[in-house]
Amino acid sequence: MAFIELKDIDAGYEKGKPILKNFHLSVEQGELVSLLGPSGCGKTTTLRTIAGFIMAEKGSVTIGGKDYTNVPPNKRNIGLVFQNYALFPHLSVFDNVAYGLRRRKVSKPEIAKRVADVLHLVSLKGFEDRLPAQLSGGQRQRVALARSIVIEPELLLLDEPLSNLDAKLRDEMRAELSRLQHQLGITMIYVTHDQIEAMSLSSRIIVMNEGLIEQSGPPEDIYEYPATPFVARFVGFDNRIDGTLTRLESKSVHVDVQGVEFISTRPSPNLSKQDEGKSVSLYFRPDDTQIGVEPGKNAFEVTIDFSNYQGNTTQYAMHLGSHALRAVVPGKPIADGTDRTVFSIPPDKVIAEKGVR
Amino acid sequence: MKNSKLLILITAMVFIFLIGPFIMIFLTSFSSDAIMRFPPKGFTMSWYAKALNIQMFRTTFWVSLQTGLLATATAMLLGVPVAYANIRFNYRGKGTLELLFSSPAIVPGMVIGFALLRFFVYVSNIPIVIGLYLGHTAILFPYTVRVVSASLRNFEGDIEQAAISLGSTPLHAFFAVVLPNIRSGLVAAFILAFITSFNNVPVSLFLTGPGVATLPIQMLSYMEYYYDPTISALSSIIIVLTVIVVQSAEKLLGISKYV
Amino acid sequence: MSLKPKTKALTMLLGAGCLFLLAYFLLPLLFVLYESFLGTDGNLTVSRYLAVLQDNQFQNVYLRTLKMAVIVTVIAVFTAYPTAYLMMKIKSSHKAILMSLVILPLMTSPVARTYAWIVILGRYGIVNQTLSLFGLTREPVRMLYTEGAIVVGLLQLFLPIMVLNLVSALENVPSEVEEAALSLGSSKIGTFFRVIVPLSFDGLIMGVTLVFTGCITAYVTPAILGGAKVLTLATLMRQQALVLMNWEAATVIAVVMILTTLILHTVLKRFRPRNQT
C-alpha cells in the first residue's frame, strides 16, 4: 500500500455537489508529486481533503497505513503552505515558527533550538523578532515553509506557494524547495497551475481536469507523451489532426489522414496493437512545425488565414480541412503572394494518441 | 478639472449647517445671560458648575454609563460569535437568521422599548432597569454584528486554517489567531455601540420612570421646565467628550470605516 | 457524520444570540401585536384599530409625519449628492477632515444637537436677531414649535447618514468611468445623471431608506422642536401612553409605526439594483 491513499473519494465544498467524484490517488513515501491543472480542476480540493479541511462525503483517506478519513485537521500532523503564506500577522517570525511546537507542548529550550535550526535551514537567521509585515514576499514564504516543516510533518502540502512571487524569486524558491526536499526526504504534494514549476520540481506530475486525473507520470512523459487531448493542449501541443491508425511498430506509428500518411517515430506508450484501425489524434507543437519547404514526409498543403510577425519568429494561423492549425516559425513572414503553402512536421516531433470519440 | 462653484457652495452650506449648531451651543454655554440671546453677553463658567452640580444629572450619568457598558458588553458577547458564524459558515436558513439579527436595527427603538415595558414590566413584573438593559442590548446587537463582521471579512480564513493545521483546535485558533487580529474591529465595535447606547433616547423613553432615568432622558425633561444655558454647558461637555473619544478612535483604529 | 461538527459549532455560535432575540425582542413585539387586537372583554377584535385610525388627530399626525419625512429626504438627497461628489474629488487629506466632520454629528447626542436649534431659532436666537438687525422684522418671528423647525432639526440629524451612504457608494464608482463618459461627448451634468447616479444608486436607496424611516420614527427632534403643539407619530405615541395613559391607542400606534417602517424597507429594497459590478 502506498504512503498516501485516497480511495473512492467524493468531496467538495457543498454537500451533494462534489468536485471530486470517485477520486483515487496514491503517493509513495518521499515522492514530490505535483497536482497540475487549471483553476477549478479539483487540485486544491484534493489538497484540502488530504489536509482534512474538507471532510469527504464518501471514500477513505489513509496516510502511513492509518485511517485518517475522520481525523480532524488539527490532529493530522500535516504541514500546509498557503499561496498567500497565511502567516500570523500579530506574531513575530520566531513565534510564527514556534506556533506548532507550542501546540505540541515541546519544552522551551527544545523549541528555541528547533526554531533556530529551521530558520538556519531557510536562511532566515537574525529575523526572529520581525513581524510578517516587515518581511519581503520571499522571506514570508520562507517563514511559511519553516513554520510547516518545523513540526516534522509526515507530509507537506503546498498550495501554489510561489504564485505570489516575481519571476526571479520564484526560480530561487523553486531551487530552495528542491534542496529542502532532498535534504529532508519529506513527502510533498505540490499544487500548481504552472507547468514549468511542476516540471522542474516534481518526481511525478498528476494532471487534473474537472475533478478527474487526466494523466499521471514523470515530467518527461507528461511533456513528451500527453495521453489525452486535454494534457496535450496543456503542455503546448496546440495542434491536433484526427486520423486512423494504420500500423503500429516498435519505432514508428503510421496514421492515415484523409488519404495522406503521417509517420511518427515516437510511439506513445498509451497505444497498443489493438488500436490499429481505430481513430487516433496527432498532436504537435506550433514551434516544431516547418513552412514553405519541399513537399515530402508529413507534409501537406494548407491555407494561411493570417500571419503575425513577432520579431524573432512569425506566427501563422492556417487550416487544413476543418482543422485549425498554428505554426511558429523563425524569420519573417513568407511573402509569395499566395495564401497556399506547404506545412510539414518532422516525424520525431509528432505524437499519435488514442482518438477522442 | 475645476470643481464648479455651485458644487462648492452647496458643500460649504451643508457643513455650516452640520457644524454651526455646535458652535452655537458653545457660545451660549459661556453667556452670563440667563435667557439665551444672540450674540451672548459676558462670560461665565457658572452654567458648567450648575450642570455638574445638579444631582439628577450626576445620578443619570451613572445610569447611562452603567447601562451602556453592560449592554455593550452583552451585545459583544452575543454578536462576535454570530458575526464569526456568518462570515465563516454557509448554512441553511442563513438569510432568515441574518434578517433576525439585523431586525432590532429596523424596528423603531421606541417600539422596542414600548414592547419591553408592556411585556416584562407589566406582565412579568421585572424591574424597569432590567428592561432598560435588555432593550439597549437588543439595539446594540446588530451594531456589533455588523462592525465585527466587517473586520472579520478582512481577515483571511487561510490564517486560521494554518493554525489548525499546526495543531490548534478551531476554538483555540479563534482565541489565539482570530481575536488578536481583529482587535481594532472589536474596540471600534465597543466604542460605537457604547456611544449609541449612551446617546439613545427612543428605547429608554418607555423604560425609564420615577427614580430611573438615563442622562439624555433627564436632559429632555429638564428642558421641558427650564430655559437657561445649563443644557448648553452640559451639551458642550458631552460634545467635547464625544469629539475626544471619536477622534482618538479614528486616529488609532480608523473608526470611520465601520460607521 | 461529516456535518455534525459544523452543526455543533453553529449551535454554539448562534444559539445565545437567537435565544436572546427571541426572548427579549420578538416575544415582546408579538405580545404587543397580540395586545393590539385585544378587546375589553378579552376577545380578539379590530376595535382598537378602528378607534385610532378613524381619529382625526391621528390621521393629521400621520400625514404630517409622512410629509415632513418626504421633505427632509428630498432636501437631504439634493444637498448630500453634491457634497459627497465633491468629497470624492478633493485631496484625500481634505476628504478625511470632511469625513470626520460628517461623522462627528452622527456620534453626538441627538438631544444636544436638537437643543442647538432652540438656541438658533428661539425668540432671541441668531436668526431673529439677524432679521431685526436688518430691519426685516419688527417682532421676533415664532420659529420654534413649527413644522419648519422639526424639518430643520431632522435634516441636521439625518444629513450625515445620507452623505456617508453616498460617499461609500461613490467610492465604488471608478473615476475612469466618468472620464470615459466625458470622452464620449457626454456633458458634465449629463455624465452625472446618466453614469454617476445609476452607479451609486444602491447607496442612494440605502440612504433614502435610512433617512426616511429615521424621520418617521424620530422622537427627540419633534419632542424638543415641536412639543405638544406639533405632534408627530412618535410624540403622539408617547403622549397617548405616558401623558393620557391611553395604552390601547399607544399599542396601535406602535404597530402602525412598525408596519410603516417595514413597508418602506420592503418597497425601497425593490429599487435596489440586483447585480451591480
Alpha carbon separation from A145 to A12, A141, A148, B155, C88 (Å, rounded) = 27, 6, 5, 21, 43
Measured between CB atoms, which of C17, C25, C120 is closest to B24?
C120
Residue B42 has what pLDDT?
83
Average pLDDT on B85-89 reads 92
Distance CA C157, CA B199 (A): 13
* pLDDT of residue C174 exceeding 90: no
Q: Nearest 5 degrees, angle CA C112-CA C118-CA C123?
A: 160
Neighbouring chains of A at 3+ CB pairs within 8 Å?
B, C
* pLDDT of residue B36 exceeding 80: no
- Which among C24, C26, A15 is positioned nearest to B92, based on CA atoms? A15
* pLDDT of residue B259 exceeding 80: no
Query: Which residues of chain B are within 8 Å of residue C16 when distances are taken between CB atoms?
Result: 77-78, 81
> Residue A65's beta-bridge partner residues?
none
Shortest CA gap C277–chain A (Å): 22
Distance CA A5, CA C251 (A): 67
Kindly list the structural domains of chain A, giving each domain's residue range(s) and its CATH number in brackets, ordered by start: 4-224 (3.40.50.300), 238-354 (2.40.50.140)
Distance CA B59, CA B63 (A): 7
Q: Nearest 5 degrees, angle CA C104-CA B231-CA C226?
A: 85
CB spacing of A70 vs C3 below 8 angstroms? no
CB spacing of A57 vs C2 below 8 angstroms? yes
pLDDT averaged over every residue in chain B: 91
Average pLDDT on C100-110 reads 91
Measured between CB atoms, which of A72, A90, A151 is closest to B166?
A151
Shortest CA gap C56–chain B (Å): 23
Q: What is the DSSP letter of B3?
A: P
Query: Which residues of chain C are within 8 Å of residue B170 when distances are taken between CB atoms?
Result: 9
Kindly list the structural domains of chain C, giving each domain's residue range(s) and its CATH number in brackets, ordered by start: 68-230 (1.10.3720.10)
Neighbouring chains of B at 3+ CB pairs within 8 Å?
A, C
Query: Which residues of chain A are within 8 Å of residue B170 when distances are taken between CB atoms?
Result: 74
- Tens-digit pLDDT profile for residues C61-73: 999 999 999 999 9
Average pLDDT on B86-104 reads 91
Alpha helices in chain A (DSSP H): 43-51, 93-103, 108-121, 137-149, 167-184, 195-201, 219-224, 229-234
Angle between helices B5-29 and C147-171 (to 10 degrees): 130
- Tens-digit pLDDT profile for residues B155-174: 988 999 999 999 999 999 99
Nearest chain B residue (CA) to A51: B165
Distance CA B83, CA B193 (A): 15
Q: Name the band, by pLDDT with cuts 50, 70 and 90, for residue B252.
A: confident
Superfamily of domain B55-258: MetI-like (1.10.3720.10)
Residue C275 has what pLDDT?
52
Residue B85 has what pLDDT?
94
Distance CA A303, CA A45 (A): 44
CA quadruple B244, C162, C227, C243: dihedral sign: negative
CB spacing of C1 vs A72 below 8 angstroms? no
Residue A140 has what pLDDT?
94
ipTM: 0.92
CB spacing of A86 vs B162 below 8 angstroms? yes
Residue C277 has what pLDDT?
42
Q: Flag whether residue C37 sits within 8 Å of chain B, measured between CB atoms.
A: no
CB spacing of A72 vs C5 below 8 angstroms? yes
- Tens-digit pLDDT profile for residues C183-226: 888 888 888 888 888 889 999 999 999 999 999 999 999 999 99
Residue B3 has what pLDDT?
59
CB spacing of B141 vs C20 below 8 angstroms? yes
Q: Flag whether residue C100 sits within 8 Å of chain B, measured between CB atoms.
A: yes
CB spacing of A15 vs C5 below 8 angstroms? no
- Which among A198, A351, A164 is positioned nearest to A268, based on CA atoms? A351
Residue A293 has what pLDDT?
73
Residue A180 has what pLDDT?
87
Q: Flag whether residue C136 sits within 8 Å of chain A, measured between CB atoms.
A: no
**395613559: which residue's cell?**
C245
pLDDT averaged over every residue in chain C: 90
Establish, for the pair of chains B and C, how many residue pairs have beta carbons separated by less than 8 Å: 246
Using 50 as the pLDDT threshold, list the residues of chain A that sit under it. Answer: none
| Cβ A212 vs Cβ A180: under 8 Å | no
- Which among C53, C15, C4, C43 is positioned nearest to C259, based on CA atoms? C53
Alpha carbon separation from B10 to B13, B21, C75, C77, C162 (Å, rounded) = 5, 17, 12, 12, 15
Select the residue from A55, A58, A75 to test the C interface by mutation, using most C Cβ atoms within 10 A: A55
Query: Which residues of chain C are within 8 Å of residue A73 when distances are taken between CB atoms?
Result: none
| Cβ C248 vs Cβ C51: under 8 Å | yes
Q: What is the DSSP letter of A80?
A: E
| pTM > 0.80 | yes
Q: Which three cell numbers stand for residue B217?
A: 432622558
The domain segmentation of chain B, as residue ranges, is 1-44, 55-258
Alpha helices in chain C (DSSP H): 4-21, 27-36, 47-53, 56-89, 92-107, 110-121, 126-133, 147-171, 175-183, 188-191, 197-199, 201-217, 220-225, 233-238, 247-269
Residue A257 has what pLDDT?
85
